[in-house]
Amino acid sequence: MTKKNLAICCSLTLFCFVHLQVYARTSQDAIPIGIILPITGDKAKFGEIEKKSFELAMQEINLSGGVNGRQLHFIFEDDTGRAEVAAALAEKLIAKDKVLMLGGGYGGFETAAIAAVAEAEQVPFLVNTSIDDKITEKGWEYVFRLNTPATDYWTGVESFLGQVAKPKTAAVIYENSPLGISGARRMDETCKSLGVKLLLAEVYDPKETDHRPMWLKVKDAGPDLVYMISHVKDASLLMRQAAEVDIAPHLFLGGTPAFTHRHFKENSGKGGAMVFAMILWHPALPFPGVQEYFHEFLDRFGVEPEYHGAQAYAAAQVMVDALKRSKFFQPEEIRLALTTANLMTVLGPVQFTSYKKMSRQNKLPTYVGQWIDGTLKLVWPPAVAEQTPVFPIDWKKARE
């Protein structure tokens, strides 16, 4: 062999060795997934619950061997509840951190901003919380939603009203926000379909702190059902002041998950007793892994998880399923795997389908709970209820 040939051979050997080493190293690198949540700002308490659940899932996955022999690495970013920040973070995660997919998505505006970037860059985005119908109505190929969209939030409530409560009259109390307005409109439609007479609909400014004049109008109207669409702080305040003016309808029903939150229990006092609430998730649900997740979260962080946490944990389950079924760890392969997802999570069944105007949308049931003896009990539908609803209600006894 000539010196020239020997030199070429050595160079080729060194080239192959270096590239094999690079391949071996990168094949064992952690799988980067970008998670964008509101970790500071007004929505931080919910973003923090989701972050903890993602972290819990990641640790469990990695301790069990990771994904096809590779560790999972969630890269968390804080959108601070602002759309422009969320969009910039999505771009940074894709361009700089080379993430294979995106997750998170809490607020509607922020989620839409992330989705637009993901679609443009052709990186799959799994939305775990935002409910705005428009997120999955745009025909985006790379955007998938795990959570129930706003249009399906009230399915459990509607069946409960029609089959159990059977009110003749109703009043609607709602905050002046897109959520409140759309919820009030939906309840108006529900009342018409059930033959319930809507006596009044009262809108309030979320900045208000004295709702007693509004409650007195409701008391004078005397509805069987009082239906409320509020966020956590308002929900607690509303129920405290309703008790102060001694309103006693056949039932109070909270139409948002705010009425299921531990802060509602802590801040509403006796006013929250016996209140019914729309539920997206409950630890009594008979899905695999629910109890394990619930107790592990409680043991680790000292508080009970709620639906935001379950959404995040379930999102991690869906991500791992898609990664394991991908031929290669590439965004397009992951997107294709998501389109054929069919699994059970702690949140319930996951399968992305098209219905109404939505596409790549998961379809989940919703439930009804009731605050009984200081605990939110799952009471509807009967197939999953842990106890029957308490109805009618002795309000004097409930508020003692």
14, pLDDT greater than 60: no
Residue 171: the pLDDT is: 98
179, pLDDT greater than 90: no
23, pLDDT greater than 50: no
Q: What is the pTM of this model?
A: 0.87
CA 198, distance to chain mean position in Å, is 30
Least confident range of 16-20, 171-175, 183-187, 224-228: 16-20
Please compute, for residue 368, the number of CA atoms within 13 A of its CA located in the half-sphere on the CB side: 29
pLDDT range class, residue 31, cuts 50, 70, 90 = very high
- To 5 degrees, how large is the angle CA 261–CA 389–CA 292? 50
Mean pLDDT of 378-387: 96
17, pLDDT greater than 90: no
Residue 232: the pLDDT is: 81
In tens, the pLDDT along 109-160 reads 999 999 999 999 999 999 999 988 999 999 999 999 999 998 888 899 999 9
pLDDT range class, residue 16, cuts 50, 70, 90 = very low
Residue 28: the pLDDT is: 56
In tens, the pLDDT along 243-258 reads 999 999 999 999 988 8
Which CATH architecture group holds 154-279+366-398? Answer: 3-Layer(aba) Sandwich (3.40)
pLDDT range class, residue 177, cuts 50, 70, 90 = confident
Q: Which residues pair with 377 in a beta bridge?
A: 370
21, pLDDT greater than 60: no
Report the SS3 class of residue 114: helix
pLDDT > 90 fraction of the chain, expressed in percent and rounded: 80
Q: Taking the chain, what is the end-to-end CA distance rounded to the nearest angstrom?
A: 99
Sign (positive or negative) of CA dihedral 387, 393, 398, 399: positive
In tens, the pLDDT along 44-56 reads 988 999 999 999 9
Burial 80-110 (b: 16+ CB within 10 A, else e): bbbbebbbebbeebbeeeebbbbbbbbbbeb
The 10 Å Cβ neighbour count of residue 3 is: 7
CATH 3.40.50.2300 fits 27-150+286-361, yes or no: yes
Residue-range domain boundaries for the chain = 27-150+286-361, 154-279+366-398
Residue 150: the pLDDT is: 85
Would the CATH topology of 27-150+286-361 be identical to that of 154-279+366-398? yes
Residue 272: the pLDDT is: 94
Pairwise pLDDT comparison (17 vs 69), residue with the higher score: 69
Q: What is the mean pLDDT of the chain?
A: 91
214, pLDDT greater than 50: yes
Residue 8: the pLDDT is: 45
Least confident range of 17-31, 76-90, 173-187, 194-208: 17-31
Residue 22: the pLDDT is: 36
In tens, the pLDDT along 319-361 reads 999 999 998 999 999 999 999 999 999 999 999 999 999 999 9
- Residue 179: its H or E element: helix 178-194
289, pLDDT greater than 60: yes
